[in-house]
A and B are shown apart, each in its own frame.
Chain A
Amino acid sequence: MIIRFLQRHREASVALIIVLLFAILGLVDRSYLSLDTVLLVYGNSLILFVLAIGATMVMATHGLDVSVGSIMGLAAVSAGLLMNAGWSIPAAIGVALLVGLLCGLINGALVSWLKVSAIVATLGTLGLYRGLVHLLSGGSWIEDLPEGFKALTKAGSLGLSVFAWLVLVLLIVAHFGLRYTAFGRSMFAVGDNRDGARLIGIRVDEVQIAAYGLNGVLAALAGVIFASQIGFIPNTAGTGMEMRAIASSVLGGVSLLGGTGTVLGAALGAYFMTSIDSILVLLRLQAYWNDIIAGAILLVVLITDGKIREAVDRLLRYQKYRKFIEPPAAGHQADATKAGLSLKTSEARK
């Protein structure tokens, strides 16, 4: 049963490990699981949540996007410049999201149409988009963002900000959208078996490009949230976030080989990555312990997950070949003789 479950839900083993960690931390310190802490960590995780949704989609199609940090920066700078030029907040955000969409579509086109490997293509655009950030901003920080914009990440109803509500809705929509809509399923199909997906009539190139496009939009949204949260836009906005986004998704059981993963898992991973800060406080450690703990947990989860999968595979192999491998060989011919033998021995016993 458990084997079956783990086999069907690859993300489950990772989720289990994470939940276990949460439980232990909760036992050490009750306040870790208190609503206040959860809300605080949730608020700090918004950017990573949004990026993790995008990473899950791209990775589901057996893709990878390391340019999301630069897209974040580019979108934030676009929105900031427009707002400071007097555009309305929604219009500026809309343009920023369009910029993200365009960046994502370029990534997708490079990977799908021009057949450039995902890491190389997005590595190139990582530099390219970051350069555009500097060109647009003229090398200086963008400050004095409108108060109305900053208010979007200030706690509002039920202790959650506007963006926090939006992200919550996004998480739910993305989680169920990926699992239960035709488009969501086709992304997994493309990542699982590209030729097979083509055979059953899925437009694999278009699906993949769409996944990169959506990822671009989400990265742009993350950039906007980032700008709203800190109130100004440095040129380095978003730098290094790609690695955290990928790490969150991987931590949440999304496979880089495509075809498996859930948004819920990736969100758990993102939440966990962010909550390391709270853990540090709990363990009374300095902030510079953050990365080493993140790395160690990531590796422990990965290697444990790898070992679990290996054990599951071995067991399934054993079950598949059991009749050949088990010491008393039980085949149709051997069966007959063995049945005869056991009959004789049982008679002899009588």
Chain B
Amino acid sequence: MAGSSPSDQRPLLVEARQIWKFFGAIAVLRGVDLTLRAGEVHALLGGNGAGKSTLMKMIAGLYRLDRGELLVGGADASVLTPVTARQAGIHLVPQEPMLFPSLSVEENVLMHVPGNRKELRARLETMIAEIGAGMTLSTQAGQLEVADQQMVEILRGLVRDARILILDEPTSALTPREVGKLFGRIRALTAQGVGIFFISHKLGEIRAIADTVSILRDGQVVLAGPPAAFTDAEIVAAMTHVEGREDFTLGRAAAPATVGPERLRVEGLAGEGFADVTFSLHSGEILGLAGVVGSGRTELAETIYGIRPAARGRVLIDGKPLAGHGPRDSLDAGIVYLPEDRQVSGLFVNAPLVWNASALVLHREGEWLPLEKERADFAEQVKLLGIVCASPDQPVRTLSGGNQQKVLLAKCLAAGPRVLILDEPTRGVDVAVRADIYRLIDRLAGEGLAILLISSDHEEIERLSHRVLVMNHGYPGGLLQGADITINAIARLSFGVGANRDAAQ
């Protein structure tokens, strides 16, 4: 593997000097320096909100930089637009595929590509065959699995002969086999002199493919160099505030002091994207639900809550089957679900905080709004959860991500849950709020709540859960308990590797 060094003679494709970017009053990038050479794979690593995606979108011309210099191929590119970025050979494969759902794969890939249709189509067909993607040119993009949609995005870049390819977490929805194929493709491209930015959360992948790694934290590059020069511990330390992290190191979750009576029982449940799921959840217990994106975790949670239909199986609360199957029935039975995407399905972002906090309990009051009580209840929640806000009437969107998440928690807790399903409860929040939420989850379990914790963060699962159910391609991949709950075990089960061996141990 060719390492990148200061004496590297390969031509510079991208050079960023002291880049600043603001969203409103918040600095997202604070003086970032970064380079990309021809044939180099430059990995970017960092937590949520570290500024990786913003930086990449800027290089793709989607955002304009506020201060600093950006050179592409040696020429000034400070006022890059999506159009000029494209002309400069830059192609961004976004984290969430941005396809045209009603158009075919062919139309999606070849849209806006100059050249002879027939030739392009022939090239595209060869590429699909080479990659071994399971799609045809006429498949409608909206019907593809997420992994294939991501492939279509990558194909777009390949067809355009991009010289600079930006891959924003391309592997998050891929299986290990697909990741292998993708890496083969990346190596072939770099051999042709293409430079690649590669965003990932996975250290193993970065060590396997990257020549250089830059670690971002709070909008700054805190560590850069060839991956081999750093140990895993050094990299993790650079990514996270060590000082901040100390605060909330819970150590391992102790077995619950007292396991209470069974609250939730799921028997042979099957639905959209999962099947054969059976487990029970007791009062005072935190059951972790792990697995890669697309393994059926969220679908399972939404089926329990009644947003999606169940095909088979039963959900029992306190030994009794649910009366009906809709969110309202679940709420009445004491099951509350905190959705994974707070902006999309959790919060009313333009509504006042207090409206959000009371949204789940309105139907328990009379026809007239209990305006006074609503405010009093919210004030209590502000104290309890440490929500930082100026007024109960300000819209949610004016809060930071962490405080928004606390408002969402307030909304869920107001319903007085007996079973709480938390789907990615710390996504996109800063370290301090993460600590607050961990403490809260711990305390709620201590108070006898039954908690189902869904998370992609294996560390989070490891720290908080008393038991862990790992989902693998829609089926239960294994159950971990006590000392068996390790990050490695969770990861192995998620990918279906060595499941039997683990079970045998």
Binding site for B on A (CB under 8 A): 7-8, 10, 182, 185-186, 188-189, 192-193, 195-203, 259-260, 316-317, 320-321, 323-327, 329, 331-334
Docked-complex contact B273 and A321, CB < 8 angstroms: yes
B:127-141 near A, CB below 8 Å: 138, 140
Docked-complex contact A10 and B100, CB < 8 angstroms: no
A319 vs chain B, min Cβ distance (A):
9
Query: Which listed residue (B102, B111, B272, B473) contacts A331, Cβ 8 A?
Result: B473
Docked-complex contact B60 and A192, CB < 8 angstroms: no
A324-B474 contact given A198-B82, A331-B275, A334-B276, CB 8 Å threshold: yes
Docked-complex contact A192 and B101, CB < 8 angstroms: yes
Query: Which residues from A are CB-within-8-Å of B99?
Result: 193, 196
Q: Which residue of A lies closest to B94 (CB)?
A: A199
A272 vs chain B, min Cβ distance (A):
24
Docked-complex contact B98 and A193, CB < 8 angstroms: yes
- The CA of A203 and the CA of B85, in the complex, are separated in Å by 13
Would you call B274 an interface residue if the criterion is a C-beta within 8 Å of the partner chain's C-beta atoms?
yes
- The CA of A189 and the CA of B110, in the complex, are separated in Å by 12
A259-B100 contact given A182-B112, A334-B475, CB 8 Å threshold: yes
- The CA of A320 and the CA of B87, in the complex, are separated in Å by 38
Query: Which residues from A are CB-within-8-Å of B140?
Result: 7-8
Chain A interface main SS type: helix
Docked-complex contact A193 and B100, CB < 8 angstroms: yes
Docked-complex contact A324 and B102, CB < 8 angstroms: no
Docked-complex contact B101 and A324, CB < 8 angstroms: no
Total of A-B residue pairs, C-beta within 8 Å: 102
Would you call B271 an interface residue if the criterion is a C-beta within 8 Å of the partner chain's C-beta atoms?
yes
Query: Which listed residue (B62, B101, B271, B474) contacts A198, Cβ 8 A?
Result: B62
B:344-401 near A, CB below 8 Å: none
Query: Which residues from B are CB-within-8-Å of A259?
Result: 100-103
- The CA of A195 and the CA of B87, in the complex, are separated in Å by 18
B268 vs chain A, min Cβ distance (A):
9
Docked-complex contact A193 and B112, CB < 8 angstroms: no
- The CA of A18 and the CA of B87, in the complex, are separated in Å by 45
Query: Which residues from B are CB-within-8-Å of A8?
Result: 104, 138, 140
Q: How many residues of B contact A (CB 8 A)?
A: 37
Would you call B86 an interface residue if the criterion is a C-beta within 8 Å of the partner chain's C-beta atoms?
yes
Known: A192-B102, A193-B98. 10 other contacts (CB 8 A): A188-B103, A193-B101, A196-B100, A197-B100, A199-B60, A199-B98, A201-B87, A324-B273, A324-B474, A326-B311
Q: Which residue of A lies closest to B275 (CB)?
A: A324
Query: Which listed residue (B60, B85, B112, B473) contacts A186, Cβ 8 A?
Result: B112
Would you call B481 an interface residue if the criterion is a C-beta within 8 Å of the partner chain's C-beta atoms?
no
- The CA of A321 and the CA of B140, in the complex, are separated in Å by 17
A230 vs chain B, min Cβ distance (A):
40
B309 vs chain A, min Cβ distance (A):
9
B:64-105 near A, CB below 8 Å: 82-83, 85-87, 92, 94, 98-104
Docked-complex contact A324 and B272, CB < 8 angstroms: yes
A sample of 29 cross-chain residue pairs with beta-carbon separation below 8 angstroms, ordered by A number, consists of A192-B103, A196-B98, A196-B100, A197-B100, A199-B62, A199-B82, A199-B92, A200-B86, A201-B83, A201-B112, A202-B111, A203-B83, A259-B102, A260-B102, A317-B272, A320-B272, A321-B272, A323-B275, A324-B275, A325-B271, A326-B311, A327-B312, A329-B270, A331-B276, A331-B474, A331-B475, A332-B475, A333-B475, A334-B475
- The CA of A326 and the CA of B272, in the complex, are separated in Å by 11
B:308-323 near A, CB below 8 Å: 311-312
A192-B143 contact given A199-B60, A334-B276, CB 8 Å threshold: no
Query: Which residues from B are CB-within-8-Å of A188?
Result: 100, 102-103
A127 vs chain B, min Cβ distance (A):
29
Docked-complex contact B143 and A7, CB < 8 angstroms: yes
Would you call B263 an interface residue if the criterion is a C-beta within 8 Å of the partner chain's C-beta atoms?
no
Query: Which residues from B are CB-within-8-Å of A316?
Result: 143
Q: Which residue of A lies closest to B296 (CB)?
A: A324
Which of A192, A199, A260, A329 is most buried by chain B, counting CB atoms within 10 A of its CB? A199
Would you call B169 an interface residue if the criterion is a C-beta within 8 Å of the partner chain's C-beta atoms?
no
B:247-286 near A, CB below 8 Å: 270-276
Q: Which residue of A lies closest to B311 (CB)?
A: A325
